[in-house]
Structure 1
Amino acid sequence: MTSKTIVLITGGNAGIGYETVAKLAADHPSTHHILMGTRSLAKGASALKALGSPSNVSPLELDITSDASIAAAVSQIKETYGKLDVLVNNAGTAGANFGDVVPPSLHGKDKTLREVYTHVYGVNVISTAVLTDALTPLLDAASPGPAKVIFISSTLGSIGTFVAGYHIVQCPWYNSSKAAVNYLSAWYSRVKPEWRVNAVCPGLNATGLNHVPLNEETHPKNGAVRACELVDQGAEGVTGTYSRRGLDKESGDVIPW
């Protein structure tokens, strides 16, 4: 197993995370082992069954908002595999009412604007940062290297795109959290030059984060494409980039920071 590429995808049991698990598992049946991060092993088991129970996918209980859960997951990865080759930081939230005017609602209850910002930043930024830091020793042990870390972001987090006239989406708590996620990506690309670290916008897809109707154009499988391209790049793959799916598999469609 340690000769395989070990991949962890947070929030891997649904939406874009699920589709990323599905694509990587199907594209690399004998070389990659995919850890499907899931807050509930029951949900992970259900998602695994929906995939057809491929032998190269294992659900991993991981709630990124819980230090205890992170510690347990890191310990399990270390004991089982001794390394982590790829981390896809996909788990996130937009707040329950994506794009609604404040006061939004979280978990069916009205919340103050402060509570919504705290919740969204707590998941998207703080928890993602804590998890990445906790996994650093295992990523440093990636073999053969380099380790790859992908932060799932959004074009809504692009300050350059926004000030250039991009349409206003009334969800500043989410948009600004993704700008912060972009900084985390840039930070790790600088302090860990031996890694390959990139931010990715999956595009507008019908997921649990929003109210977008599901069709072929908005299917979450489209959101997995760019992240999987980056996973597949070799040791000399790009790092320090911010992109989405494009015609060029190497550089993708570059997004201004």
Structure 2
Amino acid sequence: MSTGDSVVLLTGAASGIGAATARAFADNGWTVYATDIESEFPDDIGERCRCLELDVTDDAQIAAVVDQIVAETGRLDGLVNNAGYGVAGPVEDVSIDATREQFDVLVHGPHRLAQAVLPELREHGGRIITVSSVLGHTASPGLGAYSAGKAAVESLTDALRIEVAGADDVHVSLVEPAWVETGFADGALGSLPDEDRTPTYDRTYDALEDGWVLTGGPLTTTPEAVAARVLAAATDTQPKARYPVGAFATFVRWTHWLPARLQDPIHRGFGRASAFLGRWLR
């Protein structure tokens, strides 16, 4: 796909993966509409991109942003769904409201945006790219709600990819990192209940608070590495359905083929071992 005069709409662009992706597209000559529910963007993003406030749960705001982009540029060539956050905690302890709100961002947000941009993408072709996670393939204790959201958006994206295949040169891809050096872990830790913790899950809470279940420890990758895969999905002549980020993400993605009797001890063991190491290394 040629990048000359190409225009991309990017959500969740004020920090982390989104900010790195905005820089990557700008470096490659794209006109970048960087959006976020936060109105504060890094200075360099503000200088190089067109920054707009966007809540991906707001249908009217989404429609207004897409209309503004088309009015100002006359086209739209790509959508990158990156907005998201993590709700952590055992399934029994995570509230239904918290799970519903997270699904509205992780699943319904990309759905709303796809519906909003597809009529324009059909005009001359384009890409829809969703930043998902390898946790869309394999759930982790303490991240059931988040994993469920990522699994749902993976299925939604797969269906959309098949539905638009061969029609109007629209391509749909998923980018699947494991752990990334962002503020995700801090936000997820902040969602944990301070009280009313079911005692059965003490080890799960230990793994979340002291281990690498949220942070990834030494297994993390950089936002720039994820951004490079997003850019590849936007520019490859024959885009792939999935772009895992790094060797460890590829490994985790394939563990879901293992039988549950092997998967479950791996997840439990990782949480316990990393919690021990996390406390020991402090």
TM-score band, normalised by shorter chain: 0.7 to 0.9
Mapping 1:58-77, distance limit 5 Å: 58-77=50-69
Q: After superposition, give the CA deviation of every residue in 1:42-73 in whole Å (9 maximum; x if it has no partner).
A: x13xx2x144823xx21122111111211210
**Structure 2 counterpart of 1:113:** 95
**2: CA distance between counterparts of 1:206 and 1:91?**
16
Displacement of 1:215 after TM fit?
A: 8.1
**Structure 2 counterpart of 1:101:** 90
**2: CA distance between counterparts of 1:191 and 1:177?**
21
CA shift in 2, pair 1:121/1:198, >3 Å? same
**Structure 2 counterpart of 1:152:** 131
**Structure 2 counterpart of 1:131:** 113
**1: CA distance between counterparts of 2:106 and 2:220?**
25
Match for residue 155 of structure 2 among 164, 176, 183: 183
**Structure 2 counterpart of 1:197:** 172
* Cα contact 1:206–1:214 (8 A) shared by 2: no
**Structure 1 counterpart of 2:181:** 206
**Structure 1 counterpart of 2:276:** none
* Cα contact 1:63–1:70 (8 A) shared by 2: yes
CA shift in 2, pair 1:84/1:217, >3 Å? same
**1: CA distance between counterparts of 2:243 and 2:33?**
24
CA shift in 2, pair 1:139/1:201, >3 Å? same
Displacement of 1:120 after TM fit?
A: 0.9
Scaled by the length of structure 2, the TM-score of the pair is 0.69
Displacement of 1:253 after TM fit?
A: 5.1
**Structure 2 counterpart of 1:108:** none
**Structure 1 counterpart of 2:19:** 18
Unaligned 5+ segments in structure 1 are 105-111
Q: After superposition, give the CA deviation of every residue in 1:127-157 in whole Å (9 maximum; x if it has no partner).
A: 2201210111121123xxx311111111001
* Cα contact 1:153–1:178 (8 A) shared by 2: yes
Secondary structure, in 3 states, of the residue corresponding to 1:224?
helix
CA shift in 2, pair 1:59/1:154, >3 Å? same
**Structure 1 counterpart of 2:210:** none
**Structure 2 counterpart of 1:9:** 10
CA shift in 2, pair 1:131/1:51, >3 Å? closer
**Structure 2 counterpart of 1:107:** none
CA shift in 2, pair 1:225/1:202, >3 Å? farther
Displacement of 1:213 after TM fit?
A: 7.8
**1: CA distance between counterparts of 2:90 and 2:65?**
37
Match for residue 37 of structure 1 among 35, 38, 41: 35
Match for residue 53 of structure 1 among 47, 51, 59: 47
Displacement of 1:243 after TM fit?
A: 2.7
* Cα contact 2:177–2:246 (8 A) shared by 1: no
CA shift in 2, pair 1:171/1:216, >3 Å? closer
**2: CA distance between counterparts of 1:82 and 1:141?**
11
* Cα contact 1:202–1:222 (8 A) shared by 2: no
Q: Matched residue pairs, number? A: 220
CA shift in 2, pair 1:82/1:253, >3 Å? farther
**Structure 2 counterpart of 1:171:** 143
* Cα contact 2:128–2:172 (8 A) shared by 1: yes
**2: CA distance between counterparts of 1:51 and 1:134?**
24
